[in-house]
Structure 1
Amino acid sequence: MLTTAPRVYGVTDPAQAMRMSGREFLEAIMDGRLPAPPIARTLSFLLIEVGDGFAVFEGDAGEHLLNPLGVVHGGWALTLIDSATGCAGQTVLPAGVSYTTVETKANFSRPITKDTGRVRAEGRVIGRGRRIISCEGRIVDAGGRLLAHGTSTLMVLAVETNAAAPPTVAAA
């Protein structure tokens, strides 16, 4: 399991999140000013680094992630790729703008076993439009060997305001 300082897990108030740029929001999670998402505890991974169009997660493979055949379930690797690419895209978004994943796909290059240990998932923005952000992701083991790689398509969401109604979220 990841051994870091004690963390608080939870969901941030959306109104608070929308006052920060995507990168500021993710940095607040990493430094503990905001809670880490509950899925990070459940699936034993954490966001450890962000930059402009870039995000890195580390995760610990282990017995709790095994499928019936005794290898780490591919959904864990896919979730790591989705998380890394999604957060990479989020780093380029201004305050009041969000995203959702349209599609994530992955190719598995090597099996991940309970003994693989810590893995690193890196996501990068490779194309950004007004409505769509394209990203690529890679998962490597401690020796730098490629375990999985993939791509994600993200839809940019902007907050629409109307004086007569509360804010709603719609596609930008």
Structure 2
Amino acid sequence: MSLAYPRGVATPEQMAGKTGLEIMQALVRGEIPAAEISGPMRFWLAEAEEGRCVFIGEPDESLRNPQGTTHGGWALALIDSAAGCAAHTTLPAEVGYTTVETHGNFTRPILPDGGQVRAEGRVINRGRTLITAEATLTDSQGRVLAHGGSTLMVLAGR
């Protein structure tokens, strides 16, 4: 997937009967539209497997804070997206989730011209009603830029 893939809201027909993993893999293939946020935030889902998702982000000048580096909210949105989508891969069909809490730690500045950022989300624990997941953002040299975690609530019948 890339920034060129269609964005929008998936129809109920596109989601019906699919597990969370099947939905995430369909997003990677471009069969289901990516979330609208992926355009202005300049990131997309690149990989999905059980309990793990990877997003790729391309920060640019439009995401700068007043000091000229990429705004921390962008990194936190990537942490939340990667952790949440990793959690979604563990859910059966017709079951959704929502974020209860997300936190992040920023370890290096993310520069608007610093190249692609990889955000890897992993499920830590899958409970009946809560899932905990973490995500790590790295640059092209594998250096950690930020890391954090999310607590997600399972929503049956969604």
Q: TM-score when scaled to structure 1?
A: 0.88
Aligned residue pair count: 158
Are 2:3 and 2:42, in contact at CA under 8 Å, matched by a contact in 1? no
Greater CA radius of gyration, 1 or 2?
A: 1
If asked which structure has higher relative contact order (CA below 8 Å, sep 6+), I would say 2
Q: Deviations over 1:38-60 (max 9, x none)?
A: 11111110100011100000001
Are 2:3 and 2:44, in contact at CA under 8 Å, matched by a contact in 1? no
Distance 2:34 2:153 in 1: 23
- CA 1:66–1:149 in structure 2 vs 1: closer, same or farther (change >3 Å)? same
Determine the structure 1 residue equivalent to 2:120: 122
2:34 to 29, 33, 36: 36
Structure number with higher strand proportion: 1
For 2:44, give the aligned amino acid: L
Equivalence map 1:56-67=2 (5 Å): 56-67=54-65
Determine the structure 1 residue equivalent to 2:92: 94
Equivalence map 1:101-112=2 (5 Å): 101-112=99-110
Determine the structure 2 residue equivalent to 1:143: 141
Structure 1 residue 13: deviation in Å? 1.7
Q: Deviations over 1:113-147 (max 9, x none)?
A: 11211000000001111000000110000000000
- CA 1:129–1:33 in structure 2 vs 1: closer, same or farther (change >3 Å)? same
For 1:50, give the aligned amino acid: A
Determine the structure 1 residue equivalent to 2:24: 26
Are 1:18 and 1:97, in contact at CA under 8 Å, matched by a contact in 2? no
Q: TM-score when scaled to structure 2?
A: 0.95
Structure 1 residue 158: deviation in Å? 0.4
2:52 to 51, 54, 68: 54
Moved over 6 A (4+): none
- Structure 1: where are the runs of 5+ without partners? 160-168
Distance 2:152 2:71 in 1: 24
1:38 match: secondary structure:
coil
2:147 match: secondary structure:
strand
Structure 1 residue 6: deviation in Å? 3.8
Are 1:56 and 1:121, in contact at CA under 8 Å, matched by a contact in 2? yes
- CA 1:5–1:149 in structure 2 vs 1: closer, same or farther (change >3 Å)? closer
Backbone CA RMSD of aligned residues: 1.5
Indicate the percent of aligned positions where both proteins have the same amino acid: 52
Determine the structure 1 residue equivalent to 2:82: 84
